[in-house]
């Protein structure tokens, strides 16, 4: 009896999250329309598909920037120094929810969240402690803060002043992407338009005064965490970035004055080839948009700079040590994608904020990849693959589709104010997790290969620290008692007047910070003048 020959029709259909069907075999004819110079190019050359630098990791490997910060500024300072002592070459600072929402630690709504998921900051004093012994002219620091970014960045600048560091030498990246907060995280305060105004205040101020600061890190990452496909992650992030660019251009700046310091934060989990093609396509599309739509002349404006990695939604509560393996794959994908900076979620993050042990394992994961595997030897090693080049083209089309969808909604600000984008992602997120529950999407240890015996759990859980909370509140009280309250009152009033004149608020906020005005006091002035955002009903 002759055995039946297996054909492609006998194989299970494969469709990527972004809606692209994958063939089992790719051949030269699949990329016959690609022109190397036009569509790919050498690394460091337009359209930067293969990378934004000529020699990429062979000359300069990626920066390692693990997310850290918890409890009091003293606790966070120790963790920062721990990571730097073990080979991390940059910092990525987490702030607690009260700080993110403009509430001082002594606010009644703040108590049980003070220091829980990040460092508590009320005044300049806290930032002085957090960066004590850390030279801000030598260490690049990301500040994961959004609604209160003008206040926290002002504090950071004033700490640098006190260290004798010129603003022109500071290398920092405030996240400062409020539009993604409305879409995904929810840490917003003010209505959409004034929130965008504050983002642009920072962009403009840094362009004129702190040229090495990346004033915004546009976060497709969180949009992906909230239910976006990989293509939507990039498409919506680009739509956000273009919103900021258009608003800053209205202030009279030229695109080459500030876009070279735009950066992006992208997620890595899911199908590895889809992720790699996503980021190659993103580089190419960004270069074309900035050159062709905005007429940029400076090649640096066209280069998409990014941090990639993370992958929080890819990790699982079940069998948590498996997350170490997942994070290693995500790190490999980020490296093969050509990221400039990398950060990984830690194996225990489904349970708690990262422990020192878990943070060190994540750091060692990146170091092993960098030092032992040869991944830094040559640029874009998957470039030229029939599959990767075909998929890069397909991902670019899907990213453009997502951007066109936003345009049909009337632009990103209107899409958020009306709740269109939030509703779409909520539905997609529901469908994704329904498919995990039914087993349509396989998660090892969750719906397949579960263990009958008791699974190992994470036991080092970071709980609310009553003593740290009391110390924080006591320090806030001492600062208020020792500062010049007349100066504080006058500086807050100057902020209010500047709002009414529609001026850039950064110089006024920096002055208030110098007099130890609190995060809550400054935020209250902004609330008085701008109001607060009211969420649209999306169901």
Condensed to tens digits (0 to 9), the pLDDT of residues 70-114 reads: 999 999 999 999 999 999 989 999 999 999 999 999 999 999 999
Tokens of 450: 């579960």
With H, G, I as helix, E, B as strand and everything else as coil, classify residue 144. strand
Tokens of 52: 């934004």
C-alpha–C-alpha distance, residues 312 and 349, integer Å: 8
pLDDT at res. 17: 97
Closest residue by Cα to residue 257 from 241, 243, 245, 273: 245
Task: Quote the distance between the C-alpha of residue 192 and its chain's center.
Answer: 19
* DSSP type of residue 55: S
Query: pLDDT, tens digit, for every residue of 473-483?
Result: 999 999 999 99
C-alpha–C-alpha distance, residues 237 and 296, integer Å: 20
Is 70 exceeded by the pLDDT of residue 393?
yes
Closest residue by Cα to residue 173 from 104, 249, 90: 90
C-alpha–C-alpha distance, residues 228 and 401, integer Å: 13
Angle, in degrees to the nearest 10, between helices 485-500 and 506-514 = 170
Taking a C-beta distance cutoff of 8 angstroms, is the pair 282, 50 a contact? no
C-alpha–C-alpha distance, residues 188 and 190, integer Å: 6
| pLDDT more than 70, % of the chain | 99
With H, G, I as helix, E, B as strand and everything else as coil, classify residue 211. coil
pLDDT at res. 451: 87
C-alpha–C-alpha distance, residues 64 and 66, integer Å: 6
Is 60 exceeded by the pLDDT of residue 335?
yes
Which comes out higher in pLDDT, residue 40 or 3?
Answer: 40
Q: What is the mean pLDDT of residues 286-310?
A: 97
C-alpha–C-alpha distance, residues 164 and 162, integer Å: 5
Is 70 exceeded by the pLDDT of residue 2?
no
State the CB neighbour count (10 A cutoff) for residue 427.
Answer: 13
DSSP result, 152-183: HHHHHHHHHHHTT--GGG--EEE---HHHIII
Query: pLDDT, tens digit, for every residue of 499-509?
Result: 999 999 999 99
To which H or E segment does residue 266 belong? strand 262-267
Query: pLDDT, tens digit, for every residue of 128-180?
Result: 999 999 999 999 999 999 999 999 999 999 999 999 999 999 999 999 999 99
Residue pointed to by tokens 């500024």: 73
Is 80 exceeded by the pLDDT of residue 455?
no
pLDDT at res. 8: 87
Task: Quote the distance between the C-alpha of residue 262 and its chain's center.
Answer: 12
Q: How confident is the model at residue 323 (pLDDT cuts 50, 70, 90)?
A: very high
What are the domain boundaries of the chain?
Answer: 20-64+171-438
Give the chain's radius of gyration (CA, Å).
24
C-alpha–C-alpha distance, residues 257 and 240, integer Å: 19
Q: How far apart are the first and last CA of the chain?
A: 59
Instruction: Calculate ∠ Cα 531-536-539, nearest 5°.
Output: 160
Q: How confident is the model at residue 4 (pLDDT cuts 50, 70, 90)?
A: confident
Closest residue by Cα to residue 412 from 227, 242, 224, 184: 242
SS3 content of the chain, % helix, strand, coil (to 5): 55, 10, 40
pLDDT at res. 415: 96
Tokens of 288: 């074309």
C-alpha–C-alpha distance, residues 262 and 256, integer Å: 11
pLDDT at res. 460: 83
Q: What is the mean pLDDT of residues 304-308?
A: 97
Q: How confident is the model at residue 243 (pLDDT cuts 50, 70, 90)?
A: very high
**Pairing mode, strands 67-68 and 216-219:** unpaired
Instruction: Say which CATH superfamily domain 20-64+171-438 falls into.
Output: Methylmalonyl-CoA mutase (3.20.20.240)
The sheet with strand 140-144 has its strands ordered as 67-68, 90-94, 140-144, 172-174
Taking a C-beta distance cutoff of 8 angstroms, is the pair 66, 359 a contact? yes
Q: What is the mean pLDDT of residues 46-52?
A: 98
Residue pointed to by tokens 């992720």: 275
Tokens of 273: 């080839």
C-alpha–C-alpha distance, residues 295 and 140, integer Å: 30
pLDDT at res. 1: 57
Instruction: Calculate ∠ Cα 380-382-386, nearest 5°.
Output: 135
State the CB neighbour count (10 A cutoff) for residue 200.
Answer: 24
Which comes out higher in pLDDT, residue 464 or 159?
Answer: 159
Tokens of 521: 């006091």
C-alpha–C-alpha distance, residues 208 and 300, integer Å: 17
Task: Quote the distance between the C-alpha of residue 334 and its chain's center.
Answer: 14
Distances (CA, A) of 11 to 19, 29, 30, 438: 18, 21, 20, 21
């Amino acid at each position: 009896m002759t055995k039946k020959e297996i054909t492609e029709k006998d194989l299970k259909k494969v469709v990527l999250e972004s809606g692209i069907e994958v063939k089992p075999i790719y051949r030269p004819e699949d990329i016959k329309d690609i022109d190397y110079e036009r569509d790919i190019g050498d690394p460091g050359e337009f359209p930067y598909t293969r990378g934004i630098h000529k020699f990429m990791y062979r000359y300069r490997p990626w920066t390692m920037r693990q997310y850290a910060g918890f409890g009091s500024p003293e606790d966070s300072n120790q963790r920062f120094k721990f990571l730097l002592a073990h080979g991390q070459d940059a910092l990525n600072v987490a702030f607690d929810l009260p700080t993110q929402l403009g509430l001082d630690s002594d606010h009644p709504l703040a108590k049980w969240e003070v220091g829980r998921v990040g460092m508590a900051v009320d005044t300049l004093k806290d930032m002085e402690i957090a960066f004590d012994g850390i030279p801000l002219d030598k260490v690049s620091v990301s500040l994961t803060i959004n609604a209160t970014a003008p206040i926290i960045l002002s504090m950071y600048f004033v700490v640098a002043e006190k260290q004798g560091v010129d603003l022109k030498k500071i290398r920092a990246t405030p996240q400062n992407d409020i539009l993604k907060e409305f879409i995904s995280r929810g840490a917003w305060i003010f209505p959409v338009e004034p929130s965008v105004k504050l983002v642009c205040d920072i962009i403009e101020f840094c362009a004129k005064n702190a040229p090495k600061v990346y004033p915004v890190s546009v976060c497709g990452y969180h949009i992906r965490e909230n239910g976006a496909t990989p293509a939507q992650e990039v498409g919506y992030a680009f739509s956000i970035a273009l919103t900021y660019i258009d608003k800053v251009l209205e202030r009279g700046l030229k695109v080459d004055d500030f876009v070279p310091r735009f950066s992006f934060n992208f997620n890595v989990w899911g199908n590895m080839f889809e992720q790699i093609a996503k980021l190659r396509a993103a580089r190419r599309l960004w270069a074309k948009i900035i050159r062709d739509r905005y007429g940029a002349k400076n090649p640096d404006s066209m280069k998409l700079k990014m941090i990639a990695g993370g992958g929080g939604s890819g990790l699982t509560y079940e069998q948590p040590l498996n997350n170490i393996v997942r994070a290693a794959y995500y790190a490999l994908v980020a490296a093969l994608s050509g990221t400039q900076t990398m950060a990984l979620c830690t194996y225990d993050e489904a349970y708690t904020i990262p422990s020192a042990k878990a943070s060190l394992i994540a750091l060692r994961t990146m170091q092993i990849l960098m030092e032992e595997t040869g991944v830094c030897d040559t640029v874009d090693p998957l470039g030229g693959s029939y599959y990767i080049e075909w998929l890069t083209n397909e991902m670019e089309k899907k990213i453009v589709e997502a951007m066109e969808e936003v345009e049909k909604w009337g632009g990103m600000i209107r899409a958020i104010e009306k709740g269109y984008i939030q509703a779409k992602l909520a539905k997609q997120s529901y469908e994704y997790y329904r498919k995990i529950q039914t087993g349509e999407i396989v998660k090892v240890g969750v719906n397949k290969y579960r263990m009958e015996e008791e699974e190992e759990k994470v036991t080092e859980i970071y709980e609310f620290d009553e003593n740290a909370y009391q110390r924080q509140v006591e320090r806030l009280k001492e600062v208020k008692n020792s500062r010049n309250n007349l100066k504080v009152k006058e500086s807050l009033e100057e902020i209010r007047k500047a709002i009414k004149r529609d001026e850039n608020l950064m110089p006024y906020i920096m002055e208030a910070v110098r007099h130890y005005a609190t995060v809550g006091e400054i935020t209250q002035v902004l609330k008085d003048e701008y109001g607060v955002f009211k969420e649209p009903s999306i169901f």
